[in-house]
Amino acid sequence: MSVLPVEIGRTRALNTAMLFLVAIEPYLFNQISFGFNIVAPLPQDIASTAYALDIGGIWAILAAFTHFLTIEEKKLLAPDLLRNYRQIRNAEIIITAIFFVSVLPLFWTEVSGTSLRYYLWAATFFVQRIRTLYSNRVPRRSRSHDYLGGFLGKNCLYGRRSARTDTMVNTAAR
């Protein structure tokens, strides 16, 4: 399990910004008609642009948090998890870019009665799926230990001690 240091000013500021973005997301989502004939108070180009910027900001903050975890000097993650968290961070950056790029006027065009940006947003689902499939198929480096078994010893997991452990404990007690 990783712990993100909250006492850092950057982390606190990003957390506050994310709280605001998450709070306004449902309102912005309800302003979008997604091609249906729904009367919304905001024009669809403004509503969808604001929604794309909001979701892009949320993903950017998530990528920043994940990046803070992957900084090796801080040792917030076990070394075995660094590769996986870096892949997660990279996928979050790609999703951020998709949402920010969808703001461009090029993606305001209508395709089958729906804005092209909505199809682009749907593609973000596949980015996460592809990352998950990729991480499951790419062979991982051999691990020198598992989460508990390597640190405590496999016999300690079940409440038993090996003869070697008892010997070391008895030697230290003398």
85 and 150 housed in the same domain: no
107 and 156 housed in the same domain: no
Is 2 inside any structural domain? no
Is 4 inside any structural domain? no
Is 68 inside any structural domain? yes
Inter-helix orientation angle 116-137/82-101, to 10°: 170
Helix (H) or strand (E) holding 114: strand 114-115
pLDDT at 129: 83
85 and 136 housed in the same domain: yes
36 and 64 housed in the same domain: yes
Is 123 inside any structural domain? yes
Whether the Cβ atoms of residue 42 and residue 31 lie closer than 8 Å to each other: yes
pLDDT at 71: 79
80 and 158 housed in the same domain: no
117 and 158 housed in the same domain: no
pLDDT at 68: 84
Range of the domain at 149: 145-174
Say if strands 110-111 and 114-115 run parallel, antiparallel, or are unpaired. Answer: antiparallel
- The alpha carbon of 133 is separated from its chain's Cα centroid by a whole number of angstroms, namely 15
Cα separation of 119 and 124, whole Å? 9
Q: Identify the segments of the chain with pLDDT beneath 70.
A: 1-7, 35-40, 72-73, 137-174
Is 24 inside any structural domain? yes
pLDDT at 138: 62
140 vs 9, 81, 171, CA distance in Å? 35, 11, 38
User: Each residue of 41-75: pLDDT tens digit?
Assistant: 777 778 889 999 999 999 999 999 888 888 766 77
Domain count, the chain: 2
154 and 91 housed in the same domain: no
Stated pTM of the model: 0.68
Cα-flanking dihedrals φ and ψ of residue 150, to 5°?
Answer: -75, -30
pLDDT at 42: 73
